[in-house]
């Protein structure tokens, strides 16, 4: 459930989590067997033979994946081991439901098996959930970020948990011998991350640009302690150099301003308004266009500025009322363009981006003519 699943499809990054389900069900099935046979220290040989979990189809709706328990020989009466696999499935669904209701999960799963949830569901976003149901539809449970965290922390054996993270920062240290590097965030926190061969050139470029404030954007898996504090980076999936005017990085800086930031004057910027502004740029401003530099104004607004050839452009944005004032000035002829915008409207954002794109084309044409 969520925007990424609304097109009747499942993101590829999520499919890797599904493989954990099979491993988990096998171990829970073995645990159920040992509960029924306390004299046995392990499950019998061939316990998993002929049984597998298959992704049968993805149905319409918010990406409903049918995961089927398959036996090698479909017989009228299920074998004993198949019954334990069905018990395992039901136990997992009941434990997820208990966590969803903030109830105890220990009557459904033992502590040592709860750690599997650390590898499953960590790609979930805040608004997303995975819905599980039994074949008879008598029980339905939802795994989201909160219930997943409750399941993991229900085990006293777990001291750390992992989640996907996106971090913007600079790289003050790179150790090629240990194949690690540090990424430092705006609050001064330094996180150690592995330096894989495919990321080495980017890491070293950012390290060499440290003094100039060269920022990177890192996507990966982070390790958190039980108090939800990020401790380190377990793995890096992608790292790239950020544009100096990266909107998200600049908004992080603007978010730190406090009242009186400008020589005792100047209002702190509205946090909800900054989130709104970032969302609008992400939604409506094409990645290939020249990014503006964002300035705070003493009245608590944000001013976006572009310089294209001999044209100075400013867009003053009221982040609380979502209004904008566009002003363009052609420096040689002093021609001025002014327009009021409603920045909740897609059409007004399209006007802005069309204007920027057109000015860039004019600027490129003038440069070519001069050459």
> Would you say 138 and 124 are in contact if contact means Cβ atoms under 8 Å apart?
no
Distance, in Å, from the CA atom of 280 to the CA atom of 290, rounded to the nearest integer, reads: 16
pLDDT digits (tens, 9 = 90+) for 64-84: 555 555 555 544 445 667 888
Phi, psi (rounded to 5 degrees) for 51: -125, 135
The confidence score (pLDDT) of residue 10 equals: 60
365 or 353: which leads in pLDDT: 353
Q: DSSP characters for 181-219?
A: EEEE-TTS-EEEEE--GGGHHHHHHHHHTGGGT--EEEE
Q: What is the mean pLDDT of residues 311-333?
A: 87
Q: What is the mean pLDDT of residues 162-190?
A: 94
- Paired sense of beta strands 323-330 and 311-318, if any: antiparallel
The confidence score (pLDDT) of residue 41 equals: 76
- Percent of the chain at pLDDT exceeding 70: 82
pLDDT digits (tens, 9 = 90+) for 116-159: 999 888 888 888 888 887 776 677 888 999 999 999 999 998 88
- Is it the case that residue 371 has pLDDT exceeding 60? no
How would you classify residue 315: left for phi > 0, otherwise alpha for psi between -120 and 50, otherwise beta? beta
The confidence score (pLDDT) of residue 342 equals: 97
- Percent of the chain at pLDDT exceeding 90: 57
The confidence score (pLDDT) of residue 238 equals: 95
Full-model pTM: 0.75
pLDDT digits (tens, 9 = 90+) for 220-257: 999 999 999 999 999 999 999 999 999 999 999 999 99
């Amino acid at each position: 459930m969520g925007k990424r699943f609304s097109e009747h499809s499942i993101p590829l990054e999520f499919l890797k989590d599904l493989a954990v389900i099979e491993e988990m069900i096998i171990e829970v099935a073995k645990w159920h067997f040992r509960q029924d046979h306390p004299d046995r220290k392990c499950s019998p040989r061939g316990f998993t033979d002929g049984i597998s979990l298959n992704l049968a189809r993805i149905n319409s709706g918010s990406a409903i994946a049918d995961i089927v328990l398959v036996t090698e020989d479909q017989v009228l009466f299920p074998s004993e081991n198949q019954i334990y696999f069905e018990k395992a499935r039901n136990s997992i669904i009941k434990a997820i439901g208990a966590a969803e209701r903030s109830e105890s999960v220990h009557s459904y799963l033992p502590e040592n098996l709860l750690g599997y949830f650390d590898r499953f569901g960590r790609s979930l976003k805040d608004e997303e959930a995975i819905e599980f149901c039994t074949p008879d539809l008598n029980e339905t449970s939802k795994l989201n970020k909160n219930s997943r965290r409750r399941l993991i922390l229900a085990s006293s054996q777990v001291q750390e948990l992992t989640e996907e993270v996106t971090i913007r920062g600079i790289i003050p240290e790179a150790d090629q011998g240990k194949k690690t590097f540090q990424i430092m965030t705006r609050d001064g926190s330094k996180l150690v991350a592995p330096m894989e061969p495919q990321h080495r050139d980017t890491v070293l470029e950012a390290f060499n640009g440290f003094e100039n404030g060269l920022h990177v954007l890192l996507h990966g898996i982070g390790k958190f302690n039980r108090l939800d504090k990020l401790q380190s980076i377990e793995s890096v999936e992608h790292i790239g150099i950020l544009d100096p005017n990266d909107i998200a990085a600049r908004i992080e800086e603007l978010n730190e301003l406090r009242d009186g930031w400008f020589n005792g004057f100047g209002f702190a910027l509205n946090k909800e308004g900054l989130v709104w502004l970032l969302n609008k740029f992400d939604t409506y401003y094409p990645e290939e266009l020249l990014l503006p530099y964002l300035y705070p104004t003493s009245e608590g607004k944000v001013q976006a500025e572009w310089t294209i050839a001999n044209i100075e452009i400013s867009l003053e944005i009221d982040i609380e009322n979502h209004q904008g004032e566009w002003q363009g000035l052609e420096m040689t002829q002093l021609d001025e363009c002014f327009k009021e915008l409603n920045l909740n409207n897609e059409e007004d954002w399209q006007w802005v981006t069309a204007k920027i794109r057109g000015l860039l084309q004019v600027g490129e044409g003038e440069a070519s003519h001069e050459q």
